[in-house]
Structure 1
Amino acid sequence: MTAGRNSAVGEQAATKSKKAAKATKSSAKPESRLAMVRRARRINRELAEVYPYAHPELDFENPFQLLVATVLSAQTTDLRVNQTTPALFARFPTPEELAAANPEEVEELIRPTGFFRAKTKSITGLAAAIRDDFGGEVPGRLEDLVKLPGVGRKTAFVVLGNAFGVPGLTVDTHFQRLVRRWKWTEQEDPEKIEAEIAAIFPKSEWTMLSHRVIFHGRRICHARKPACGACPIAHLCPAYGEGETDPDKAKKLLKYEMGGMPGQRLKPPAGYPGRPAPPLGAAG
């Protein structure tokens, strides 16, 4: 991304954050269900412009690698998982080989991701189940995936949406935090959150909505100190003001450790089934 475009994105966010301050003060009436749905869909559209090629930030080349990487990502960062999985997959490239692996060797390989003993049990167990129950192929159905060791609905939807093209909502901690801040739901339980958000958006949007929300949560709308003054959707956010509203101070809170900046078209990871991203400035 050019410096000029970075500046333009920042200025646009600052302008919108000022509008948000005014909107927050004037919004005394309770929001109707219809108004909330319209606002939610507008947030999704605007996030699509800010993150036009949001994608899973785990590196993978096939469904098996994505499944294992997603299980390993619990309680750690995608960056740390991406630093760890190349050696793991080079040593154990198939479910059959991972299922037969010495647990101590697997533990040593995945130690940097934390909770390595429990994760070793999960990934060797799911590899054995894939070998024994699914002919060595990762199943493409939710009801089959959630039966695998260490695999819940969140992990299953990551795999379904990004390896099989089956729409699903990835209700991780970022997603939960943002949809509650945006007043799309008041639920705390992930499955209830999933159901309420699914009712707002068409099914075809579920996977990309998840990526956009998670991108935004990682880069701008942080848990402890959201960068409200640098947020491009501040004018649509009922929680505006929970974080830093000064544009210059807010810019310092932005995080781009995975390489994706607001407005930047990102190259998809290996194995991602979507179409290549068009060059910057090209028509969608």
Structure 2
Amino acid sequence: MNEKIKAKKILKILNKIYPNTPIPLNHSNKFTLLTSVLLSAQCTDLNVNNVTKNIYPKYNKPEHFVKLGRKKIEKLIKSIGIFRIKAKSIYLMSKLLLEKHGGKVPKNFEELEKLPGVGHKTASVVMSQGFGIPAFAVDTHIHRLAQRWGITNGKSVIQTEVDLKKLFPKKTWNKLHLQIIYYGREFCKARECFGLTCKICTTCYPNRKNPIKTKKA
């Protein structure tokens, strides 16, 4: 079974299981979405939502965080991993948004990726979920699943993103990113499926007998 056939089968399974894909990170505007995505690095969406539910009702604009300053931001997000680094990024990002973009989140990859703490994956999430512009945000989880399902042999998330964009229609990218994440959490977990038990793994590799080892990004 080649990659294109696998991609069609995967899309069919995912559309059946996840016809709707709500955005997992709670937010009230594009700035809070950007902030939540930045906070979600090395942290669960649930933990981010638990922290931001007490922040966003009061602080939800760049000027709010600039006024707070780094130390106060640290106190607000201290239960999140690498909170000092993230607090610094949020403060500097907010400052730059006010100085260069009138407090608005820019609507293109180039300007988004110039913001402190914002990499390509974060920019992709904001472009797709915030602006509805086709983007395929590939993180280490999607990279692992794509390898398991035999639709990439990329050694990095960058290569995996290139491969997946070639296989799946552009109009599916925004929804597909979330569908794969939801599926991985529910059915194809890192330490449970091992490429042997879930519906997608058994569809792509019906005769697979041994656990699949994925190359870390």
Normalising by structure 1, we get a TM-score of 0.70
Offset of residue 235 of structure 1: 3.5
Query: Which contiguous aligned blocks of 4+ residues in structure 1 show a shift greater than 6 angstroms?
Result: 227-230
| Counterparts of residues 12-91 of structure 1 (less than 5 Å) | 31=1, 35-91=2-58
Aligned-partner residue type, residue 81 of structure 2: G
Offset of residue 233 of structure 1: 2.7
Structure 1 residues 54, 227: CA separation in 2 closer, same or farther (over 3 Å shift)? farther
The equivalent position to 1:161 in structure 2, one of 116, 128, 133, is: 128
Offset of residue 105 of structure 1: 1.3
1:175 is the counterpart of 2:153: no
The answer to whether the 8 Å contact 2:149/2:201 transfers is no
* Match of residue 4 from structure 1: none
The answer to whether the 8 Å contact 1:88/1:109 transfers is yes
Q: Tell me how far apart the structure 2 counterparts of residues 156 and 120 of structure 1 sit (CA, whole Å).
A: 18
Aligned-partner residue type, residue 63 of structure 1: K
Offset of residue 174 of structure 1: 1.4
Structure 1 residues 62, 157: CA separation in 2 closer, same or farther (over 3 Å shift)? same
The equivalent position to 1:145 in structure 2, one of 112, 136, 141, is: 112
Q: Give the root-mean-square deviation of aligned CA atoms.
A: 1.8
Structure 1 residues 54, 210: CA separation in 2 closer, same or farther (over 3 Å shift)? same
Offset of residue 214 of structure 1: 0.7
* Match of residue 104 from structure 1: 71
The answer to whether the 8 Å contact 2:27/2:33 transfers is yes
Q: Tell me how far apart the structure 1 counterparts of residues 160 and 81 of structure 2 sit (CA, whole Å).
A: 28
Q: Whose RCO is larger (CA < 8 A, sep 6+)?
A: 1
The answer to whether the 8 Å contact 1:167/1:203 transfers is yes
| Counterparts of residues 124-135 of structure 1 (less than 5 Å) | 124-135=91-102
Residue ranges of structure 1 left out of the alignment (5+ in a row): 1-30, 244-284
Aligned-partner residue type, residue 140 of structure 2: T
Offset of residue 110 of structure 1: 0.4
The structure with the largest alpha-carbon Rg is: 1
Larger deviation: 83-92 or 139-148? 83-92
Q: Tell me how far apart the structure 1 counterparts of residues 120 and 183 of structure 2 sit (CA, whole Å).
A: 22
Offset of residue 129 of structure 1: 1.1
The answer to whether the 8 Å contact 1:106/1:120 transfers is yes
Q: Tell me how far apart the structure 1 counterparts of residues 200 and 190 of structure 2 sit (CA, whole Å).
A: 17
Normalising by structure 2, we get a TM-score of 0.90
The equivalent position to 2:184 in structure 1, one of 183, 195, 217, is: 217
The answer to whether the 8 Å contact 1:181/1:238 transfers is no
* Match of residue 207 from structure 1: 174
| 1:111 match: secondary structure | coil
Q: Tell me how far apart the structure 1 counterparts of residues 69 and 111 of structure 2 sit (CA, whole Å).
A: 26
Larger deviation: 44-53 or 83-92? 83-92
How many aligned residue pairs are there?
210
Q: Tell me how far apart the structure 1 counterparts of residues 19 and 199 of structure 2 sit (CA, whole Å).
A: 14
Q: Tell me how far apart the structure 1 counterparts of residues 192 and 198 of structure 2 sit (CA, whole Å).
A: 12
Q: Tell me how far apart the structure 2 counterparts of residues 177 and 233 of structure 1 sit (CA, whole Å).
A: 13
Q: Tell me how far apart the structure 2 counterparts of residues 37 and 72 of structure 1 sit (CA, whole Å).
A: 35
Aligned-partner residue type, residue 182 of structure 1: W
